[in-house]
Every structure is written in C-alpha cells, then in structure tokens.
Amino acid sequence: MAQKAAKQLAARNTTKLNQAHLISLGNNLFFLLMRLLVYRSTYTRNTLLLWVVLSLPAWVIEFWLEKIGRPKYAENGELKKSGEDLEAKGLTDFMWDLIYWTWACIAAAAMIGNKAWWMYAVVPAYSIWMAATTVIGMRNGMAGMTGQEHGASQDADAGGDSKRQRKLEKRGGQKVQYQ
C-alpha cells in the first residue's frame, strides 16, 4: 500500500484530463459542424477567427493542466510522479472555471451565432470582482493587525466611545470626559 494517496491522485488526474480532452474535442467539433453544415449561410471568416481567438485561452490552459497534472510512470510501470492536484482551490479552480465557461460560450455560439461570444465578457468582469473583494478583505485584515477593527476605528473617529470605555462606564468606573 505504498504511495496509496499518490496513486489515487494519479488516477483522479488521469480521469479528469481524459474527460476534459474528450469534452473539448466534442464541443469544438460540434461548433465546426454546426457552423459549416447547419448555419452555412451565416458562415464567415470572422466566425472562425472569433472561435480561434476566444478558444485559445482554454486550449492554453488545458495544455498547461495536461503538463502539470498528467502522472509520469517509469518504464516498469511504477508511478514516478502523480502530478499536481487538479482539484486544488485557488488558481487551478479559476482555470477550470475559465475552461468550463469557454465551453459554454462555444456551445452557445454554435447554436445561436457570433453574438453569443459576448458571454465571454463575464470572465473579465468576474476577475475584477474577485480582485476587488480580495483587496477589501486584505484592507480589513490589515486594520485588524493594528489592533482596531474596521468598525471600531470609524466609531472612534466619529466621536463615539470605545468598547473599553463603555464597559468601564457600565460598571460604574471612571467616566471619561472629552474636551
């Protein structure tokens, strides 16, 4: 049972990568067949150009995930390297989201037409929203490092009492007077 976790990770990665490649191949073939056979009258060079340009990020990411996630085996069949975890949170998760969204845009463009590529504008909007929430979270975290919470610093600036002062006054302790 040596390297049981590594073998399980290798099996999961292999399955996930094979599924991703098959779905990508099927989705792109569906797009080409729909554009060339069904919607032949609306077919233009711009259609193929949009497809290539807007599918390129997903293809690059898929290639990258293949490179880092595919397990490596020795000549005798023994596992050398299980690859990176393709189900990891953070950047890897965002890359999978980008691939899934690109597949959805390709399928929609195959059925609806070139106007469906505007769905791809969600990706930069989502990235900006994630960056903004990260910056806000970091700012609130930095305020906590100074010993003040974000709300407490606003109360003190507005002329309100701090929590410690309110507790002292509640117990009947010394009342603080401001001048």
Encode the chain (179 residues) as per-residue pLDDT tens digits.
458 888 888 889 999 999 999 999 999 999 999 988 877 666 677 788 888 998 999 999 999 999 999 999 888 888 888 888 888 898 899 899 999 999 999 999 999 888 888 888 888 888 888 889 888 888 887 776 666 554 544 544 455 678 887 877 778 766 556 66
Of 112, 101, 1, the closest CA to residue 55 belongs to 101
Structure tokens at 145: 């490092």
Report, in angstroms and rounded to the nearest whole number, the Rg of the chain calculated over CA atoms: 27
Q: In the chain, what are the domain boundaries? A: 4-170
Predicted local confidence at residue 67, as pLDDT:
94
Determine whether 83 is exposed, middle or buried from the number of CB atoms within 10 Å of its CB (0-12, 13-18, 19+): buried
- pTM of structure: 0.67
Alpha-carbon distance of 151 to 4, in angstroms, equals: 49
Beta strands in 33-154 (DSSP E): 72-73, 79-81
Query: Is residue 85 a contact partner of residue 9, using CB atoms and an 8 Å limit?
Result: yes
At residue 75, the pLDDT reads 87
* Residues near 71 by beta carbon (within 8 Å), at least 6 away in sequence: 9, 10, 13, 14, 79, 81, 82, 83
| pLDDT confidence of residue 131 | 87
What is the structure's pLDDT at 148? 55
